[in-house]
Amino acid sequence: MQNIHRQRWHDHIRDCKEILRIVEPLEIAGRITKLTGLVMEAAGIKLPIGSACYVPLAEGRRVEAEVVGFDGERMLLMPQSSVDGVMPGAKVFALEVAEALPKPHHGHPPRRRVTDRARHLPVGNELLGRVVDGAGNPLDDLGKIEATQSSPLNTRPMNPLMRAPIEEILDVGVRAINSMLTVGRGQRMGLFAGSGVGKSVLLGMMARYTTADVIVVGLIGERGREVQEFIEQILGPVGLARSVVVAAPADAPALMRLQGANYATTIAENFRDQGKNVLLIMDSLTRYAMAQREIALAIGEPPATKGYPPSVFAKLPALVERTGNGKRGEGSITAF
């Protein structure tokens, strides 16, 4: 008799486990309570800073946003695109990055487990020769990017004692620079000049003729016309073949311009981890600071030096310090 009862309990527990395998998890949503300028406020949902979320709209459209701050129980969201169509009380869902779990028995669909709520974008060799925006979407009409790897936009800072010293020279393809202003592999240099004097042309010459393995170009805050001219005339097909171009033009939202610079750096870090020497061209870091200023002022951060809030002076070194040499025996990122 005891064996019969025990078997019944075993069967009942097995059935309960099977139900848990196929049940859909409860999805928690918040609601938009305020939209002023560049910032949306949401209540009823709690996410950490840097998390990605979205607001569903009519006809299958949605507005993706990022958590940039909070005020009490209210989250401050910065949208990635136009907020046209967002209504008072619209729902807000977390944009989850999930991985597939082993497929359960009896032909049920595979389950998903949330691993991270931060935004992950494609990286890897599949991006070579492509032009993408700050969200990883292709801009070159060459089809979808079938990347097998993805990476979060923000990475942990490297231990400075683990970095390899700058000991080798990088040929940037410009004899005047190689002879008079020799660039070390893994060095970070600034290029300062007025408008219209040839900065972009010089950077394009480096991208075409450098001996670096991979070139990553971040066009941040440029005019749309200049983006096309840089890719077609300055960089050219030869330079583009071993390059990745991340374009976040001036008409893109501030968050996309900020994300574009981080995305270009993330792509360069991935190639560096593969042992390759990368030339990272960021045009320009000033517009990255201006984008961060727009976001910080919109969420209420007080202005400081020349209207720039304190967070700008923390974001700039955090971005720049991600470049440079990796560990001994690994690749490098030489940044301009």
Show which of 69, 89, 118 is a domain's final residue: 118
Task: Write down the pLDDT at residue 23.
Answer: 65
Kindly report the CATH number assigned to the domain that includes residue 89.
2.40.10.170
Mean pLDDT by 10 residues, the chain (336 residues): 72 78 72 86 87 84 86 87 85 67 44 57 89 87 84 81 87 88 88 79 85 90 80 81 89 87 92 91 87 86 84 88 84 88
Which range marks the domain in which residue 216 is found? 121-335
| Closest-CA residue to 289 (of 265, 310, 263) | 310
Same domain? For 154 and 179 the reply is: yes
**Domain end position, chosen among 77, 102, 118:** 118
Identify whether residues 295 and 198 lie together within a single domain: yes
Question: Quick one: 83 and 185 in the same domain?
Answer: no
22 with 139, same domain: the answer is no
Whether residue 175 is found in the same domain as residue 27: no
129 in the same domain as 7: no
Whether residue 106 is found in the same domain as residue 146: no
Question: How many folded domains does the chain comprise?
Answer: 2
Whole-prediction pTM: 0.81
Give yes or no: residues 65 and 194 share one domain.
Answer: no
- The pLDDT, as a whole number, for residue 153 is 82
Is the N-terminal amide bond of 82 cis, ω within 30° of 0? no
Residue partners of 82: CB distance under 8 A and separation at least 6: 63
Strands of the 214-220 sheet, one edge to the other: 130-132, 243-248, 214-220, 277-283, 332-335, 324-325
Let me know whether 155 and 282 are in one domain.
yes
Does 304 lie in the same domain as 164?
A: yes
CATH assignment at residue 315: 3.40.50.12240
Regarding whether 330 and 184 lie in a shared domain, the answer is: yes
Q: Which of 118, 153, 186 is the C-terminal boundary of a domain?
A: 118
Torsion of CA 13, 16, 20, 22, to 10 degrees: 120
